[in-house]
Structure formats: structure tokens, C-alpha cells
Amino acid sequence: MQERDFIVTGMSCTACAARVEKAARSVPGVVEAQVNLVTGQMHVVSTEESTVQDIIHAVQSYGFGAEEKKSVAAQSKPGGRRGWAVAASVLLLIPLVALHHVVHGAEWAQAVLALGIAGLNYRFFTRGVRTLAEGDPGMDALVAMGSGVALADGLVQLCGGGSGAMFLESAGMILTFVSVGKWLEARATRRTGQAVEKLSRLLPEVATVVREGEQVQVPTAQLQVGDCLLVRPGDRIPADGTVLRGVSAADESALTGESMPVEKRKGADVYAGTVNMQGALYVHVAQRQEESALSGVIRLVSNAAAQKAPMARLADRVARVFVPAVVAAAGVTAAVWWACGAGWDVALARAVAVLVVSCPCALGLATPVAIMVGAGKGAEWGILFRSGEALEAAGRASCVALDKTGTLTRGEPGITDVQPHGCSREELLGLAVALESGANHPLARAVVACAASPAAAVADLQYIPGRGVRGSVQGDSCAVGNIALMHELGAEAQDPAELVEQGKTVLHVARGKQWLGYLAVADAPRESAPRAVKELRQMGLRILMITGDNVATARAIGVRVGVQEVHASAMPRDKEEVVRTLQAQGERVAMVGDGINDAPALVRAEVGIAIGAGTDIAIESAGIILMHSDPMDIPRALQLSRAILDKIRQNLFWAFIYNVLMIPLAAGVFYPVFGWLLPPAAAAVAMGLSSLCVVTNALRLRNFCPTEHSVSP
């Protein structure tokens, strides 16, 4: 299977997106095609049987433009009207309305102006007629039918010498107002992709490559693995790679969120989009630009809404049957008014109003714009949603299952307690560091990390598996190890019960038979872990911890971070089974982990969340990726997901309510009781405002900030 992305132009509503998907799926070998109306992009999954040109030709045959998205940073403009055509339509509409209301007997002048507006907006008619002929009408068809019928009626009356009511100005107003509305909608929608645009601008367009001793300027898209780059101070690094020579510091805040510059010298990894702060660096390219870490972030954000959430699929199904139903409703409306004795002009006005007011644009935009804005906001915090489905699942989660090591804890042991006995603290640590300096196991690294001075020389070093290490320091026989080693040496030592209960590993130090004290080593909780757990509980979520560590350690960490429900000694299959059991109890599980052993549970859960610098397998198994190793990002991600879901619900509610209220109003249902009628031109304004309101409501997510004491759903 191959996955390709395309930029599609000319779409203006959900029906357009559905037609593009239909066109792509008609190509032999295409398994799936999903269009993002907001970004104007299409994601296609296909076999090698289908080619890029086959897919492009299929989309073009349906009246849309298409091209392969060759760069991850490439963006398309949302569908909308051409600015100059919109401006010209407005300029023609002003005298048209003035002639209609002020000058009598200027019908032919009105007809000329209305025809001019129709010519400027000819795409409504060409595409509308085509979709009607194919039995798959959309917004363009409704606008074309509404304005076209009004315009044709006026022209027929003029040519036949009729004197009835004409709707020439209504035809012009419909086309102009809809065009203005789509133009404003496109401008607002374009703001939904600003996060992607900001990320894309971090990738430089040109790189300095050193070839045969000469410096050559090369487009970064043409960089190859193995190229040698010269990155001057202040320049952005064009591709992921390794420093060959030079010493500097890099600002990696755009990628990691960390404000402190990171020192770079020979052998250090550098990343595309980060800034070289000080000295010149020569960098060996390890990944092409489109394969860089930053490009992966851009790809995740821009494709977040491509795989549609269940809510979006529901809206699409409704929209597909909505337009034919509206056409039928317009016909019934005209027939009823005619049968009730109203004139042809009244019946026509009601039918046109129904056609224009009920365009399903707001319904189609309700979900993707909210997901796009929310995904962009999440990217600013280092929270990446892989799909709309993962986002929706996170918003509906009722239970959070947390891995311990690397998620709630730092993932590596550190010294937590130092207790000398008959010697100074410095002497105790000095002996321990000297003996452990040659070892490579995690406990030894934890001890060595606390060294304040170079380690003393050790002779006759001997490792005792399962117990510790012995050696001669300045002529004295010394040892570091567990209580069993101390008893073997004859040193009187005892494990402190309170530290053992906390799940800490105790390392004793002895010189000869003299016990000098102990060090306690543990994988300490991250500083923000207790606050994150408290916040998750405030959100009304059930919290539990699943870990492969022993029961004592797991319970001790659980107490320290505030998790009461603990599942310890869990193998990967056991973690998956715990998630399965929770689901059987009716829970919607969000599983958070960072390792290979978490992958089965991440896949089994409704949504998997990979935290920090997790393994590639964990990241690929997760629906949400937290780029930082901060547990507080877990409640932030879930709060943002809930906020996005709320916006989607609001948008869908108002889109449905709009049609429930406006279609009867346009049809004249309320006229016998209240005398209310909706003129065709007002219907066009209402339709445009409905779409604009949906987009504007979604844009409010840009100001969303996570708060404590969240209310449970």
C-alpha cells in the first residue's frame, strides 16, 4: 500500500469534497480517499496499480484542480471566490439595487447588470449544472438553481413583454452575497491553518552545501543523505543530521519547547528548523528534509483532520442526502403556494429562497474547522493528534491508564537518600563513586551521576553478580552492594524498613568489615506527576497505574503521585488485558505509555497517548503524541480534546437548528400566523452568515487555555 497527499482546488462545500473522494475512489487500486475541506488536501491510500496521474485526471474530470503534494510544508488555500470577481460583483450590484428601487422602467439595464454578475460567478452555473446532470448536486447547484431561475424568469418576461414581478436584483444579490460569504469564509478558514504555516516557515528554503571544498547554495528540498552542510550563526538548520566539526549551541524551543539552548559539538545530533546560536557548524545530513522530525510534526498537524472523526462522517452522510431533499422541498413549496392561489412570482420567490437558504456549507464545516484549529493549538503546546478519530476518542475518555516508568517517573534511577555512618557524606559518596565508575548498569550510573569530584583509583575491581562490587581504594578493601554482600563481608548493616516500603533500592558501603552507611536509589516521580494526577481526577476521570515493576515499588510510587488503583508486575500482554477488562466494564480508556511494552495496550485502548521521547513503536501505536516528558500534558491534551468536541457539538447543533428554522421560514410556513417571509436576497445573506459563524466559533479555540478544576463531562 502507498499513501499519497494531494492539493485539491475548487471545492466550496461538503458535496464538493464528497465528489472529489468519489472521483479518487473510482481509480483502480485506490483503497481509500479522504478529503479535508478546510485545508484543501486529499489523503489517498492505494496499491501500486494506481498512479499519481490517474488520480489527478480522475479528480480533474469532475471539475476540480489537483496536484500531488510534493513537500510536507506545501499548503493549499481554502476554497473560496476570487477576490477581484467578488469586488466586481459588489460594484455591479450597487447600481442594480439602485435601479430596482429608485428608477422604474430600467429593467433592461437591470438585466445587463445581473448578467454581468452571473458572468463573474459563472462557476456556480458550470459546476452546478454538471452536478445536477450527474445526480450529485451540491451547494453550487442550489445557488445556480436559485439565481438561475430568478434570472431566467426575468429575461423571459422582458423578451415576452411581461409586466409581472421580476427578481433580477434578487438573482444578482444571491450570487454576490454568496460569493462575498464564501470569500469571507475562506479568509476566516485560512486562519485555521496558521499553526501549520508557522511550523512550515521554520524550514529554510536554501542550504549551504560544502562540495569539494566549495560552498554551494542548494534548495533544501534537494538535499541528500550524506551531504555536508555549513550552518552559520543565526541560521536555521536545514535538515536533521550530526555535527562533523564546530562548537555551538542550538535553540531547539520550536521542536522541544525547552527554552535553554543545547550545546552542540562533534557527534551531537541537530534537527531541522532549530537555530544555530553561536559558532559555525559543519553538519552531516542524516535525513532528507521531508523525513526530519519537524516535518513529521507538520505532517501530523496538517493531516489531523484528514482521517475523519465519527462526527464528521455522520455530517457527511446527512449532507449527501440533504441537497436532493432541499430541491424536492423547493418544488413542493412552489407547488403549494401556486395551489393556494398565489401568483407565479410569489411561488417562485419562495422556491428560490428555500434553495438558497439551505446550502449545507455550515454542516460540512462544523467538524473539520474545529479539529484543524484545535490540532494547531495542540501543536503549539507539543500535543500532536494523529487523526480526528483519536481526538474525538480522547474527548470521550472516562478512564486514564498510566504506565509508571518514563511516564509518571523519570525513567532512570537517581540517588534519593544518603545516610553516612561513622564517616562524612563526602567520603561515603566518594567510595561509592570510585567503585561504581567502571560499571554500566543503571544503579551504577545513578551513583556516578552524583560525583562532585573525579573518582579515586580502584585496584582489584571485582563484580559480584546480584550483590555488588568490591575493590581496593587507597589500599583499603571496600565494597558497595546490597545487604547480602554486607553480611558476607561481616559488616553489620540493616536495610531501613521505611525506604524498602517505598520501593527504593538500598546500596550499602563498607570499608573492610566497617559499615560506612548507605545510599538509596529510586526512579523518582516527575515533579509534575502528582499535580497531573490530581487534575485528571478533577476532570472526573478514573485513574489507574499499570507497570511491570514489583508491587512494593509500584504502590510506593502510586502513593507519592496520588494513584490508588495500581496493577503491578504486568507484562505487555497483561497491560493489554487490563485495558480489555476496563473496556468490558464500560470504560472508554486512554492509555499513556512510552515503551515497546506499552504498545499492545496503546493499540487496544480507545486512544493511545505516547509521552515524551518514547520508542518508535510506542509512537506508531499511539493516536496522540506528547512531545515533552511532562505529565501535565496528559490533562492538557484531554481538556483540549473536550474543548474541541464541545465546539463540534455547538457547530453541528447550530448548523442543524439553522436549517430547521430557516427552511420553513423561507418556504413561508410562518406566513399565515406571523406574516413572516424571507426574501431570496436575505436567504443568501443568512446562508453566508451561517458558514461564517461556524468558522468563527471554531476559531475561538485559538484562545483556549487549559485550566485546573475542570468540570467532568
Q: Residue 712: its pLDDT value, please? A: 38
pLDDT in the model for residue 550: 77
Of 121 and 1, the one with more pLDDT: 121
Mean pLDDT of 249-261: 67
DSSP, res 632: T
Contact 441, 435 (CB under 8 A): no
**Percent of the chain whose predicted confidence (pLDDT) is above 90:** 22
Question: Which grid cell is 170?
Answer: 434578487
Residues 6+ apart with CB under 8 A from 476: 511, 512
Closest CA to 461 of 444, 449, 483: 444
Kindly indicate the confidence band of residue 710, based on its pLDDT and cuts at 50, 70 and 90.
Answer: very low
Q: What are φ and ψ of residue 101, in 5° steps?
A: -95, -20
CATH 3.40.50.1000 in the chain, residues? 383-410+526-627
Place of cell 493549538: 377
pLDDT at 613: 55
- The predicted-structure confidence for 131-146, as pLDDT tens digits, reads as follows 777 776 766 777 788 7
Mean pLDDT lowest among 158-162, 163-167, 591-595, 623-627: 163-167
Q: What is the pLDDT of residue 139?
A: 66
Predicted local confidence at residue 643, as pLDDT? 93
Query: For 654-668, what is each residue's pLDDT tens digit?
Result: 888 887 888 899 888
pLDDT at 436: 87
Q: Assess contact for 38 and 192: CB atoms under 8 A.
A: yes
pLDDT at 312 over 70: no
Task: Sort 289 into a burial class: Cβ within 10 Å, 0-12 / 13-18 / 19+.
Answer: buried
Q: Which residue has the cell 438553481?
A: 145
What three-state secondary structure class fits 479?
Answer: strand
**How far lies 467's CA from each of 464, 471, 505, 506, 662, in Å?**
6, 14, 12, 11, 80
- Please tell me the predicted confidence (pLDDT) of residue 80: 47
CA distance 102 to 90: 18
AA identity, residue 468: G
Average pLDDT over the chain reads 82
Q: Which whole number is the average pLDDT over 272-277? A: 87
> Which among 439, 442, 634 is positioned nearest to 533, based on CA atoms?
634
For residues 632 and 529, give the distance between their C-alpha atoms in angstroms, rounded to a whole number. Answer: 7
For 60-79, what is the mean pLDDT?
A: 70
pLDDT at 306 over 60: no
Cβ neighbours of 28 (radius 10 Å): 9
DSSP state of 340: T
Q: Which CATH class is domain 383-410+526-627?
A: alpha beta
Q: Band of the pLDDT at 105, cuts 50, 70, 90? A: confident
The CA distance from 124 to 117, in Å, is 11
Confidence at residue 494, expressed as pLDDT on a 0 to 100 scale? 87
Portions of the chain given CATH number 2.70.150.10: 204-291
Mean pLDDT, range 536-545, rounded to an integer: 94
Mean pLDDT of 560-568: 92
Cα distances from 397 to residues 20, 334, 537, 699, in angstroms, run: 33, 48, 12, 24
pTM over 0.85: no
What pLDDT sits at residue 293? 75
Q: 2-68 adopts what CATH topology?
A: Alpha-Beta Plaits (3.30.70)
- Write down the residue that cell numbers 519547547 correspond to: 257
- Specify the amino acid at residue 666: A
Report the residue count for the chain: 713
Q: Confidence band (pLDDT; 50, 70, 90) for 11?
A: confident
* Predicted confidence band of residue 260 (pLDDT cuts 50, 70, 90): low
Q: How confident is the model at residue 416 (pLDDT cuts 50, 70, 90)?
A: confident
Q: What is the predicted pLDDT for the residue at 642?
A: 94
DSSP state of 409: B
Specify the pLDDT at position 90: 87
For residues 33-55, average pLDDT: 82
Per the listing, cell 422541498 goes with 329
Active-site residue, 403 included: yes
Q: Is the pLDDT of residue 304 over 70?
A: no
- Comparing 36-50, 105-119, 277-291, 560-574, the range with the smallest average pLDDT is 36-50
| Measured distance CA(175)–CA(681) in Å, rounded | 9
Split at pLDDT 50, 70, 90, the class of 618 is low
As a whole number of angstroms, the distance between CA 664 and CA 661 comes to 6
- State the pLDDT confidence band at 79, using cuts at 50, 70 and 90: very low
φ/ψ (deg, to 5) at 46 = -150, 170
520-532 tens-digit pLDDT:
988 888 889 999 9
452: nearest Cα among 428, 430, 419: 430
Q: What is the mean pLDDT of residues 488-500?
A: 88
Contact 366, 651 (CB under 8 A): yes
Catalytic-role residue among 240, 316, 403, 594: 403
99 band by pLDDT with thresholds 50, 70 and 90:
confident
Reading across the β-sheet that carries 624-626, which strands appear in turn? Answer: 383-385, 624-626, 607-611, 589-593, 399-403, 542-546, 565-567
Three cell numbers at 268? 551531537
| CB 528 within 8 Å of CB 632 | yes
Q: How far apart are the first and last CA of the chain?
A: 39
Confidence of residue 196 (pLDDT cuts 50, 70, 90): low
Q: What is the CA 508 to chain-centroid distance, rounded? A: 50
Cell of 249: 549551541
Residue type, 619: I
Long-range contact pairs involving 528-534 (C-beta distance under 8 Å, separation at least 24): 528/630, 528/631, 528/632, 529/408, 529/409, 529/560, 529/561, 529/631, 530/560, 530/561, 530/562, 531/631, 531/632, 532/631, 532/632, 532/634, 532/635, 533/402, 533/408, 533/561, 533/562, 533/563, 533/631, 534/562
Question: What angle, rounded to 10 degrees, do the helices at 168-190 and 361-380 form?
Answer: 20
List every span in the chain annotated with CATH 3.30.70.100.
Answer: 2-68
Least confident of 103-117, 200-214, 352-366, 627-641: 352-366
Residue type, 698: A
* CATH 3.40.1110.10 domain position(s) in the chain: 414-522
Return the higher-pLDDT residue of 479 and 195: 479
List phi, psi (to 5°) of 501.
-65, -30
Tens digits of residue pLDDT in 676-687: 888 877 877 777
Fold of 414-522: Calcium-transporting ATPase, cytoplasmic domain N (3.40.1110)
Listed in sequence order, the residues at least 6 apart from 62 whose beta carbon sits closer than 8 Å to its beta carbon are 19, 20, 22, 23
pLDDT value at 20 more than 60: yes
Q: What percent of the chain has pLDDT over 70?
A: 85
- Check if the beta carbon of residue 326 is closer than 8 Å to that of residue 351: no
Indicate the DSSP class of residue 612: S
How do the residues of the chain divide into helix, strand and coil, expressed in percent and rounded to 5? Answer: 50, 20, 30
* CATH number belonging to the domain at 204-291, selected among 2.70.150.10, 3.40.50.970, 2.60.40.3470, 3.40.50.10140: 2.70.150.10
CA separation, residue 548 to residues 307, 403, 497, 552, 607 (Å): 34, 9, 23, 12, 21
Summarize the confidence of residues 626-645 as an average pLDDT.
Answer: 91
On whether the CB atoms of residues 147 and 175 are closer than 8 A, the answer is yes
Q: For residues 310 and 319, give the distance between their C-alpha atoms in angstroms, rounded to a whole number.
A: 14
Average pLDDT of the segment spanning 66-77 = 67
- In this predicted structure, which of 440-454, 477-491, 613-627, 637-651 has the lowest mean pLDDT? 613-627
DSSP secondary structure string for all residues of 418-455: EEESSS-HHHHHHHHHHHHTT--SHHHHHHHTT-SSPP
Q: What residue type is 175 in one-letter code?
A: L
Judge contact between 9 and 37, C-beta under 8 A: no
Give the CA distances from residue 32 to residues 26, 49, 379, 454, in Å, rounded to whole numbers and listed in that order. 10, 14, 26, 61
Residue 263 in 3-state DSSP? Answer: strand
Looking at residues 491-505, what average pLDDT do you find? 85
Model pLDDT, residue 85: 85
- Residue 429 scores a pLDDT above 60: yes
